[in-house]
């Protein structure tokens, strides 16, 4: 944690909320921008532990007034739509920065909720659709959600969604790519081999979905193979970054709480990975 990073996060949040002409309640001792900043700082430096973030930020005078964890949680849930809006706005800005024909990467990562043996006791999620398999460990099952994400080559998320773990990786391809720049290339692993998805991308944005071809398919061209080999590892680095933020071991009591911590993690990683 650095002072410069915390101040930068607050300034970006505060300026964005001012741009939308948002004002905190006149009786609030801690502003709405500070509440969202706490959530982002917790994601960036404290593995999404809100209590620890509040304690240390108060101790070091980053926030001047006391704020209980329960009060913070209520206010963050009330500001949840703002957290989503800020994530969407930053994603749009990142997309606009890309070249006319840009390259993106698509993949998914598991978000376990609990161990399989305790799945029947889970109050957070219920249903067979939440049982899935890890993409790179097909024999390893997990209970929870899967985060589907498209990112830039510099590891900044531009679109994402949370779906039950059993859903196929190809399910959200259209929703994740429909707002990308015209003519974009989207690189994926073997799980994205789908003629229908490739055709839809050609019709909607004139783009090209380039998955790593399976052994029983015509091989990738030399140009495609070069792109896949050069850039595929970068989304793995992004997933490692998100995992270090506690995204695979979140302590939440409601589905909405899980969503908010995910939004916070993705928003702050976009800020931290922004080139200077």
User: What CA–CA distance (Å, rounded) separates 49 from 38?
Assistant: 10
Q: Is the pLDDT confidence value at 195 over 90? A: no
The three-class DSSP label of residue 217 is: coil
Q: Is the pLDDT confidence value at 275 over 80? A: no
For helices 255-272 and 222-244, what crossing angle results, to 10°?
Answer: 120
Domains and CATH numbers, the chain: 3-78 (no CATH), 99-250 (3.30.420)
Low-confidence winner among 116-120, 136-140, 210-214, 263-267 (lowest mean pLDDT): 136-140
Of the candidates 172, 207, 219, 206, the one whose C-alpha atom is nearest the C-alpha of residue 192 is: 172
Residue 177: the pLDDT is 93
- What is the share, in percent, of the chain residues with pLDDT greater than 90? 47
pLDDT, tens digit (0-9, with 9 covering 90-100), for 19-76: 989 988 888 889 999 999 999 999 999 999 999 999 999 998 888 888 899 999 999 9
User: What CA–CA distance (Å, rounded) separates 40 from 61?
Assistant: 17
pTM over 0.85? The answer is yes
Residues in the chain: 276
Q: Is the pLDDT confidence value at 138 over 80? A: no
Place of tokens 């206010």: 75
Residue 46: the pLDDT is 94
């Amino acid at each position: 944690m650095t002072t410069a990073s915390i101040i930068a996060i607050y300034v970006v949040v505060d300026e964005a909320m001012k741009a939308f002409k948002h004002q905190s309640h006149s009786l609030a001792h801690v502003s709405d921008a500070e509440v969202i900043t706490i959530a982002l700082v917790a994601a960036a430096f404290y593995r999404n532990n809100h209590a620890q973030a509040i304690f240390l930020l108060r101790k070091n005078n980053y926030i001047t007034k006391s704020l209980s964890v329960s009060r913070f949680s209520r206010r963050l849930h009330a500001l949840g739509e703002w957290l989503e809006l800020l994530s969407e706005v930053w994603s749009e800005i990142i997309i606009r920065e890309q070249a006319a024909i840009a390259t993106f990467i698509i993949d998914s990562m598991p978000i376990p909720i609990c161990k399989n043996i305790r799945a029947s006791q889970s109050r957070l999620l219920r249903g067979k659709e939440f049982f899935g398999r890890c993409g790179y460990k097909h024999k390893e099952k997990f209970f929870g959600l899967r985060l589907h994400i498209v990112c830039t080559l510099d590891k900044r998320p531009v679109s994402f969604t949370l779906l039950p773990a059993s859903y196929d990786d190809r399910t959200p391809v259209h929703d994740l790519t429909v707002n990308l720049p015209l003519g974009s290339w989207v690189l994926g692993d073997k799980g994205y081999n789908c003629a229908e998805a490739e055709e839809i991308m050609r019709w909607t944005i004139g783009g090209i979905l380039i998955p790593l071809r399976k052994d029983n398919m015509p091989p990738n061209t030399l140009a495609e193979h070069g792109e896949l080999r050069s850039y595929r590892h970068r989304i793995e680095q992004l997933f490692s970054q998100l995992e270090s933020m506690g995204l695979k071991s979140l302590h939440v009591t409601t589905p909405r709480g899980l969503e908010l911590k995910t939004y916070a993690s993705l928003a702050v990683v976009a800020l931290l990975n922004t080139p200077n």
